[in-house]
Amino acid sequence: MSAVQDEFQGLETVDDRHVIGRHIVWHEETESTNDDARRAAETGEQEGLVVIADGQTAGRGRMSRTWTSPPGRDILFSVLLRPDVTDLPKMPLVAGLAVARTLDAFTDQPVTLKWPNDVRVADRKISGSLVESGSSKTGYFAIVGTGVNVNMDAGAHPEIAEIATSLRTLTGKSVSRREVMRKLLFEMDCIYSSPEQMGRLVSDWSSRLETIGQEIDVRWGGEFIHGVAEGVDETGRLLLRDGGGELRLLEAGEVTTQLSGQ
Ligand code: BTN
C-alpha cells in the first residue's frame, strides 16, 4: 500500500445517501488530479469519484496558472460530479463553501471567500478550486479540483510567499491532512447531496464573500474590466458596475479577479 493510500484510506462513504467519496483513488504522484478525474468521467465512471494525490507534476490553477504545492504537505484532490446542467455553474460555490466550513474547524480566524472561489484567512489565500466541465456518453460532468494548503511553508516559495498561507503557518503546528480531508469530503457532500443546502447555497456562500463593495479588476477574455462589485445573482455571477456605469454580469467559471493569489 502506498503512503498516501495508507494516510487517506477509509474515507470512502459507506452510505448510499452520500455521493462524494463513493470511490476514492490515490496517487503518490500524478500530473493533475483534474486530468485523472476527467479521464474517468469520459470512460463512464459514476459521480462521487475522488482522486487524491500526494504531489502533482503539472498541478494547475485558474487562468493557466501553476498550482504550487510541495509533495506530502497539502491536500490536492478532484471530485467527479454529474449535477443537473442548471447546477453546473454552482460547482465552484460548493467547493468554496465546503472548504470554508472545513477550515472553520481548524483555525479561530475568520475564513472568507474572494470571488469567485479563493478561500482566504488573514488576508492570504489558503485554498482554491479549479472547476472544469465536459460531457461524455453518460451526460454532462464537472471536475471539481481543490488544493488546500495544510502544512506547506508558503514563505519557501517565492512566487506565492507574499500572498499564500497554510493551516500550519496560521496555527504554528502540523495539522493532520487526513482530518482536514475527512471533514472536507463530508462538508462537500452535505451541500451537494442536500436539495435544501443547494437551495440556499448562494446565500450561504455570499455571506462569506469579501469582494462585495470592493473596487476590483476582472479579467474577461482578453480584457480587464475595472469596477465595483455590487453583489452576486442566484447562480453566483458577479454584478460588476464598470467605469461607464454599466452593470455587467460575470460568470464565475470564466473570469477571475486580477490579483487572485496562488
Ligand atoms: C486556483 O485557485 O487557481 C485553483 C487551484 C486548483 C488547484 C487544484 S489542486 C488539485 C486539482 N488538480 C489541479 O491540477 N488543480 C486542482
CATH 2.30.30.100 fits 214-261, yes or no: yes
**Multiple choice CATH, 3-206, 3.30.930.10, 3.20.20.410, 3.30.300.30, 3.40.50.620:** 3.30.930.10
Predicted pLDDT at 102: 98
- Residue whose C-alpha cell reads 476582472 in the numeric block: 218
Give the E-state strand segments of 31-138 in sequence order: 49-56, 75-81, 111-114, 118-121, 124-136
What DSSP state is assigned to residue 72? T
Each residue of 54-65: pLDDT tens digit? Answer: 999 999 998 788
Pocket test for ligand 1, best of 30, 49, 146 (most atoms within 8 A of CB): 146
Predicted pLDDT at 47: 96
What DSSP state is assigned to residue 11? -
**Among the residues of 113-228, which ranges form H helices?**
167-171, 177-192, 195-199, 201-206
Calculate how far, in angstroms, residue 61's C-alpha sits from the geometric centre of ligand 1: 4
Distance CA 161, CA 104 (A): 23
Buried b (16+ CB within 10 A) or exposed e, 150-168: bbbebeeeeebeebbbbbb
3-state secondary structure of 67: coil
Q: What residue segments make up the domains of the chain, in order of their start? A: 3-206, 214-261
Give the DSSP H/E element, type plus range, for residue 8: helix 3-8
Give yes or no for residue 147 CB within 6 A of ligand 1. yes
CA atoms within 13 A on the CB side of 82: 18
Q: How many CB atoms lie within 10 A of CB 85?
A: 12
Distance CA 36, CA 21 (A): 15
Backbone CA torsion sign across 62, 76, 99, 152: negative
Whether 80 has a pLDDT exceeding 60, the answer reads yes
Distance CA 115, CA 208 (A): 10
Give yes or no for residue 130 CB within 6 A of ligand 1. yes
Task: Please indicate whether residue 138 or residue 44 has the higher confidence score (pLDDT).
Answer: 44
Average pLDDT over residues 134-146: 93
Task: Please indicate whether residue 120 or residue 221 has the higher confidence score (pLDDT).
Answer: 120
Average pLDDT over residues 16-38: 95
Mean pLDDT over all residues of the chain? 91
Predicted pLDDT at 89: 86
Task: Please indicate whether residue 189 or residue 250 has the higher confidence score (pLDDT).
Answer: 189
Whether 1 has a pLDDT exceeding 80, the answer reads no
> Residues 147, 131: contact at Cβ < 8 Å?
no
Calculate how far, in angstroms, residue 94's C-alpha sits from the geometric centre of ligand 1: 15
Whether 160 has a pLDDT exceeding 70, the answer reads yes
Predicted pLDDT at 257: 53
Calculate how far, in angstroms, residue 181's C-alpha sits from the geometric centre of ligand 1: 15
Give yes or no for residue 149 CB within 6 A of ligand 1. no
Pocket test for ligand 1, best of 25, 50, 130, 184 (most atoms within 8 A of CB): 130
- Residue whose C-alpha cell reads 497554510 in the numeric block: 166
Calculate how far, in angstroms, residue 60's C-alpha sits from the geometric centre of ligand 1: 5
Output the CA–CA distances (angstroms, integers) from residue 36 to 50, 144, 234, in the order listed. 10, 12, 31
Predicted pLDDT at 179: 97
Q: Which of 6-20, 25-39, 86-100, 157-171 has the lowest mean pLDDT?
A: 6-20
Calculate how far, in angstroms, residue 223's C-alpha sits from the geometric centre of ligand 1: 23
% the chain with pLDDT above 70: 95
Whether 259 has a pLDDT exceeding 50, the answer reads no
User: Could you tell me the pTM of the whole model?
Assistant: 0.92
Distance CA 250, CA 220 (A): 8
Asked if the peptide bond before residue 92 counts as cis, ω within 30 degrees of 0, the response is: no
Each residue of 192-249: pLDDT tens digit? Answer: 999 999 999 999 998 999 888 888 888 776 778 889 989 888 887 889 999 899 999 9
Predicted pLDDT at 262: 46
Predicted pLDDT at 231: 87
Whether 106 has a pLDDT exceeding 60, the answer reads yes
